[in-house]
Chain A
């Protein structure tokens, strides 16, 4: 994040302004990705008029960065009408799409409307892998063609690559594909549970050894020693910090008008069909509860050695049963990164010593500089 963006974010937080909101326009989709966290039926999407009214309210509330996502946004017949309306309201609009329905005409219209960026999901450079994840034959070819159309319009495109068992070897080639296309590429090693709490998708995520390998790829993380260094415990400032931006400067609205702190944090806080957006943002009991949490309030994590560097997601913790608790997937990431088990992992070991075996080496103060693997573990 740039310094100015950081400054703006801090100011928005102090003022209680929802700087960034993701609106899912639909959960319908033309792909059937094996790891998707959504069900794709239409349970009564907001109408064009309702979404325009929501956009009016959000502009009034100070929302600046608006992400349209789904489902597949281009399945909404009114998509360009909504996009045009959003741009008339001067939102900085970002799109998330599989891009299968973007051809030259759509790319041109997106450019004319001044969209800031388009994030396209690409799982592999190999059609047999990508298409086996989307379950749509030919989808990789369509998505890559769309990226070329978007690039030819001078638009900023970001490939989003989710790391899974099926494609764990492919991320370097996806990054090479992105470089060839002249676009950015992000890699997400977390497969999330479904929004209804079903955790079956989580098993598609890669295991410890693959995570460990990814976190030691200098082309991804830069300085590996620094990235994988033994973490410092959270200091007083760290303990007073907020866990993430959800409900502080960001939130999420579903196609049915339900407002959540984040797309990955499905605690209902209100519905814009029944209440003004700003009332939910400011006064929802649940939104304010999330907002009240500081790192020092977290159970287990407060005392964890990863406190200062963990990517703990409060939404994932909530889906595990406690928004103040640990997120096991992030514990696993911290462990893979540093070789140090999290407090949560150690607690689980104590609770079930016959099921999980973690051997913790004595950690001595490093002689000159932190070493990346001061502890060994076998799970």
Chain B
């Protein structure tokens, strides 16, 4: 099975509020809030780390969940966020875009 890579869409605005991300869509100014799991995924989505590694190293240690179940859920979540243009999902590593970029706090 091919690996998935996820990257934050540089067009969105994002800020952490009490450990949960607020995301403003760059497409239509819709506001989203991410729960803690989705926030972990968002923060780890650097385009270079495969999703399964993010799940193994960042999500599973935080939650009492089977890795296979967690990966399945994370894939579904990543695709949903990609549908809102919050995340980019690819079967290849995603190179960083020129601007705007940077980590969100």
Chain A: residues with CB nearer than 8 A to chain B? Answer: 2, 4-5, 7-8, 11-12, 15, 17, 19, 59-60, 62-64, 84, 87-93, 112-114, 116-117, 156
Known: A17-B17, A60-B105, A64-B17. A4 touches B100 (CB 8 A): no
B24 CB to nearest chain A CB (Å): 4
Taking a contact as CB atoms under 8 Å apart, the answer to whether A2 and B31 are in contact is yes
B38 CB to nearest chain A CB (Å): 14
Taking a contact as CB atoms under 8 Å apart, the answer to whether B13 and A8 are in contact is no
Chain B: residues with CB nearer than 8 A to chain A? Answer: 10-18, 22, 24, 26, 29, 31-33, 99-105
Taking a contact as CB atoms under 8 Å apart, the answer to whether B100 and A113 are in contact is yes
Known: A11-B17, A11-B18. A88 touches B33 (CB 8 A): no
Give the complex CA separation of A367 and B101 in angstroms.
62
Interface centre among A7, A17, A60, A88 (most CB of B within 10 A): A88
Contacts of A60 in B (CB 8 A): 105
Q: Which residue of the partner chain A has the closest CB to B11?
A: A114
Taking a contact as CB atoms under 8 Å apart, the answer to whether A5 and B17 are in contact is no
Q: Which residue of the partner chain A has the closest CB to B101?
A: A88
Taking a contact as CB atoms under 8 Å apart, the answer to whether B26 and A114 are in contact is yes
Q: Which residue of the partner chain A has the closest CB to B24?
A: A92
A-B contact count (CB 8 A): 71
A16 CB to nearest chain B CB (Å): 11
Give the complex CA separation of A92 and B14 in angstroms.
7
B85 CB to nearest chain A CB (Å): 11
Contacts of A2 in B (CB 8 A): 31
Taking a contact as CB atoms under 8 Å apart, the answer to whether B15 and A90 are in contact is yes
Taking a contact as CB atoms under 8 Å apart, the answer to whether A15 and B18 are in contact is yes
Contacts of B100 in A (CB 8 A): 84, 87-88, 90, 113-114
B82 CB to nearest chain A CB (Å): 17
Taking a contact as CB atoms under 8 Å apart, the answer to whether A5 and B105 are in contact is no
Known: A4-B31, A4-B33, A8-B31. A90 touches B13 (CB 8 A): yes
Give the complex CA separation of A88 and B97 in angstroms.
11
Taking a contact as CB atoms under 8 Å apart, the answer to whether B11 and A90 are in contact is no
Interface centre among A64, A84, A91, A116 (most CB of B within 10 A): A64
Taking a contact as CB atoms under 8 Å apart, the answer to whether A114 and B31 are in contact is no
Contacts of B103 in A (CB 8 A): 90
Known: A8-B22, A156-B29. A84 touches B99 (CB 8 A): yes
Taking a contact as CB atoms under 8 Å apart, the answer to whether B29 and A90 are in contact is no
16 new A-B contacts at CB < 8 Å, known A64-B24, A90-B12: A8-B17, A8-B33, A15-B18, A17-B17, A19-B17, A60-B105, A62-B105, A84-B100, A87-B13, A88-B101, A88-B102, A89-B105, A90-B103, A91-B13, A92-B13, A114-B26
Contacts of B17 in A (CB 8 A): 8, 11-12, 15, 17, 19, 62, 64
Give the complex CA separation of A15 and B16 in angstroms.
12
Give the complex CA separation of A245 and B63 in angstroms.
37
B40 CB to nearest chain A CB (Å): 17
Q: List 11 A-B contacts (CB under 8 A).
A: A4-B32, A5-B31, A8-B33, A12-B17, A62-B16, A88-B101, A89-B104, A90-B103, A92-B24, A116-B13, A116-B24
Taking a contact as CB atoms under 8 Å apart, the answer to whether A89 and B102 are in contact is yes
Contacts of B15 in A (CB 8 A): 59, 62-64, 90-92
Give the complex CA separation of A2 and B32 in angstroms.
11
Taking a contact as CB atoms under 8 Å apart, the answer to whether A116 and B105 are in contact is no
Taking a contact as CB atoms under 8 Å apart, the answer to whether B22 and A64 are in contact is yes
Q: Which residue of the partner chain A has the closest CB to B14?
A: A90
Give the complex CA separation of A112 and B10 in angstroms.
10
Q: Which residue of the partner chain B has the closest CB to A60?
A: B105
Interface centre among B15, B18, B99, B104 (most CB of A within 10 A): B15
Q: Which residue of the partner chain A has the closest CB to B8?
A: A90
Known: A8-B33, A92-B24, A114-B100. A59 touches B105 (CB 8 A): yes
Taking a contact as CB atoms under 8 Å apart, the answer to whether A114 and B12 are in contact is yes
